Amino acid sequence: MHDTNQSAKPWAGRFNAPTDAFVEAFTASVDFDRRLYRYDIQGSIAHATMLARQGILTEAERDAIVDGLEQVRARIEAGEFEWSIPLEDVHMNVESALTQAIGDAGKKLHTGRSRNDQVATDVRLWLREEIDTLAGEIRRLQQALLDLAEREADAVLPGFTHLQVAQPITFGHHMMAWFEMLDRDHDRLLDCRRRLNVMPLGAAALAGTTYPIDRAYTAELLDFDRPAENSLDAVSDRDFAIEFSADAAILMMHLSRFSEELILWSSAQFGFVELSDSFCTGSSIMPQKKNPDVPELVRGKSGRIFGHLIGLLTLMKAQPLAYNKDNQEDKEPLFDIVDNLKGSLKVYADMMGHVTCNHQRMREAARQGFSTATDLADYLVRKGIPFRDAHEIVGKAVALGVREGRDLAELPLESLRQFSEAITDDVYAVLTLDGSVAARDHLGGTAPNQVRAAIARARQRLTD
């Protein structure tokens, strides 16, 4: 005989023994997939509407189902819904509650569909909405960067390669580099959204259904671009989730790089920027500490998201067509990616509006490491000296500066002229920090007026 829990299962007809209690808990997904309830109900309402339009349900049955589903949604949102592990997942919990509320009409809702196409539809509906939210948070962070870049368009700091002083740049130019990275991240997410906005519903378990359904109409109701072309592919692949995870990993890699720079720049050794107290924490033992915990935590979360991407790839790599229970494991990493990515973007968008620059420390650092050496080489080239010869001349001048502990701009003219008579007293105009950044006055350059022009173009891009 069946026990009461077993008989409540929609698939219990061919079974002669109840599910083992541990197996029941082990295979259930309702503890985490319940967060899909809104999308499950949204898809079910569209499905019932289509079934009635096709004459598979009566209008009265459709109305009862829609009204019942709205009641279930209200109970869930009011915290009055009791989720059942024996019912396994969000789909069966909602359907069971619907049947209890409206009777036999509720049992007709599953006509022409399977949990296989149902869950694939739910996840796409959920992820589509989350991508829209994430895209909005990226734009908010970009706006904060534009405001900061505009405020600090003239501020000079050292640019680095190999974490060694390379050339002077403006802080605004550096912020605009972050802006451009985020713009590509934004485009990647929207491109992913375009590919995932295809509807699996109607694929049923794997082969479609014998009922005369109208999948194009259901897709229209759910605002999908079109129904999936192939029923096997529709229920079994999760490449849209993997693509999103890859895009999320790239975005988190960018945020991690931003974090690394903020952590370095806010340290006592650099002292380039100050993070607001609202985004830092203290030490339990060292009273002087102001720790950049927000960027550190974002940097740490990047590894977590990279791991989820590898996990999802591994999950899919050996699955035969069509649906397999393995795919139950796609949702927890996907949920975690979205939650942590959304939180990271939000805190960054909030934090960057409160970053302040220490202009004196940045300029002092830019004067170290002979950051205007390339400017001196360019100066010599303009005097008719081949670049490779100019490179050698400047290298010798730098060696002198190292020996004497003086920057190029601090060396007297007679010291510089011993390496080339082409050097005259006008050389000091190119050896200053401001002269160096101002000279890079072209599209994409670090000159303050080019930074302001880039900001104006970027603001127009966001408006467009």
Positions marked catalytic: 162, 283
What's the CA gap between 228 and 239, in Å, rounded? 14
In angstroms, the Cα distances linking 318 to 158, 239, 322 are 50, 13, 12
Q: Residue 199: phi, psi to the nearest 5? A: -95, 120
Q: Based on the number of CB atoms within 10 Å of its own CB, is 299 exposed (0-12), middle (13-18) or buried (19 or more)? A: buried
Angle at the Cα of 234 from the Cα atoms of 117 and 93, rounded to 5 degrees: 15
What's the CA gap between 108 and 34, in Å, rounded? 22
β-pair type (198-199, 226-227): parallel
Residue with tokens 């949920």: 335
Tokens of 335: 């949920």
Region for 320 from its dihedrals, namely left if φ exceeds 0, alpha if ψ lies in -120 to 50, beta otherwise: beta
Region for 286 from its dihedrals, namely left if φ exceeds 0, alpha if ψ lies in -120 to 50, beta otherwise: beta
- Distance from the Cα of residue 205 to its chain's centroid: 32
- CA nearest to 239, candidates 302, 202, 196, 197: 196
Angle at the Cα of 188 from the Cα atoms of 311 and 462, rounded to 5 degrees: 145
Grouping H, G, I as helix, E, B as strand and the rest as coil, residue 348 is helix
Identity (one letter) of the amino acid at 207? A
What's the CA gap between 270 and 292, in Å, rounded? 14
Q: Is residue 33 a contact partner of residue 89, using CB atoms and an 8 Å limit? A: yes
- CA nearest to 409, candidates 373, 359, 365: 373
User: How many Cα atoms within 13 Å fall on the side-chain side of residue 70?
Assistant: 8
Identity (one letter) of the amino acid at 225? D
